[in-house]
Structure 1
Amino acid sequence: MPELISLVGGECTGKSTLADALGRRLPAIVVSEFLREWVERSGRVPLPAEQAAVMAEHRDAEVRALQQADRSGLDWTVSDSGPLMTAVYSIQYYDDDSLLPQALEWTALSNTVVWCQDDFPWHPDPQRDGSHARKTSQQILASIFAENPGLPMLRVRGPVHERAETVLRDTISR
């Protein structure tokens, strides 16, 4: 069965760019950020009661991508902003940590959880709340990783090519 690389990090930390780069380099099936698609389709952010369904849909997309990779003979699937990020946003915006146990359970199934650092310049986007929100997400992730040292976390920083090289070197050698 193919292995899963899950990318996490606050807004504008290079997750999507890194996912595309890894998808080409490995090669891998890339699961795009379901939350972004949901917001584009709905024209708003999910309400607290909708967060669990958003998280579950992203996980379902990961499972489908893993199955597709297996049928295609690919060894890897890369998830852009996996279920853990939906749980982080629920904590950040709704003070609701109820999704965290399920998100951690699913995230623990990843071969590597790549934590994108916030050393990228901030780029405004209609779906982004601002650099202050990125900082808050990163702080929540730091707490989650500190409390769950068993997660296979890999911290990456620098330009995309350096991040990709770090993931390739540290993930494939595991």
Structure 2
Amino acid sequence: MTRPGLISVVGGESTGKSVISAALGAELPAVVVSEFLRTWVEQHDGRIPGPVEQAHVMAAHRESEVSAVARAARGGWSWVVSDSGPLMTAVYSIQYYDDASLLPQALEWTTRSERVLWCQDDFPWQPDPQRDGSHARARSQQILAAIFAEHPELPVLDLRGSLDERIETVVTTLT
């Protein structure tokens, strides 16, 4: 049984992470891991996780990734696409709570990814009840840029352009 490759999708809010994740799930094909943070917020009546809850959110998303990789291996799938994986939880912890304590674990898990797709903010921000605004997107992107500059070993693929252009970039890189 071949181990499926994990693709981690990251980027600030409204950069197309969920859209590209779903599209890649169909295109590659791949098992898609949904953003656990979004589910957590919905289960908690719109409340965002507090500082001490961030570690649970990150670990739960990672558990979903591990489970998806096992499921993909059993099903003969080559890929697992993780929408807003553990690295994004660490970024949000830095951004909202000035807490970088989750970053080492998130980086360890992220280095196991075949690719880290960094969705850029090259299209207009779209409102959503769980989003804070374009200023929050810009701050997340700045934090990611600093992390990627400090960790060139991460297999980051910069995604820009339309959905079709982003998919083509990923598929071309993976084949």
- TM-score greater than 0.5 by the shorter chain: yes
**TM-score scaled by structure 1?**
0.98
> Match for 2:140: what amino acid?
S
Identity %: 68
Establish whether residue 13 from structure 1 lines up as the match of residue 2 from structure 2. no
> Match for 2:138: what amino acid?
K
SS at match of 1:29: strand
> Match for 1:39: what amino acid?
V
Match of 1:153 in 2: 156
Contact 1:14/1:120, CA 8 A, preserved across alignment: no
Selected match of 1:76 from 63, 74, 79: 79
Map Cα deviations across residues 69-106 of structure 1 (whole Å, 9 max, x no partner): 00110000000000000000000000000000000000
Match of 1:58 in 2: 61
Match of 2:128 in 1: 125
Match of 2:99 in 1: 96
In structure 2, what is the Cα distance between the partners aligned to 1:34 and 1:167?
A: 23
Match of 2:24 in 1: 22
Map Cα deviations across residues 110-157 of structure 1 (whole Å, 9 max, x no partner): 000000000121111110000000000000000000000000000000
Contact 1:12/1:134, CA 8 A, preserved across alignment: yes
In structure 2, what is the Cα distance between the partners aligned to 1:156 and 1:124?
A: 21
In structure 1, runs of 5+ residues without a counterpart are: none
How many equivalent residue pairs? 172
> Match for 1:19: what amino acid?
S
In structure 2, what is the Cα distance between the partners aligned to 1:120 and 1:106?
A: 29
Match of 2:41 in 1: 39
Contact 1:8/1:85, CA 8 A, preserved across alignment: yes
Contact 1:62/1:79, CA 8 A, preserved across alignment: yes
Structure 1 segments of 4+ aligned residues over 3 angstroms from their partners? none
> Match for 1:149: what amino acid?
P
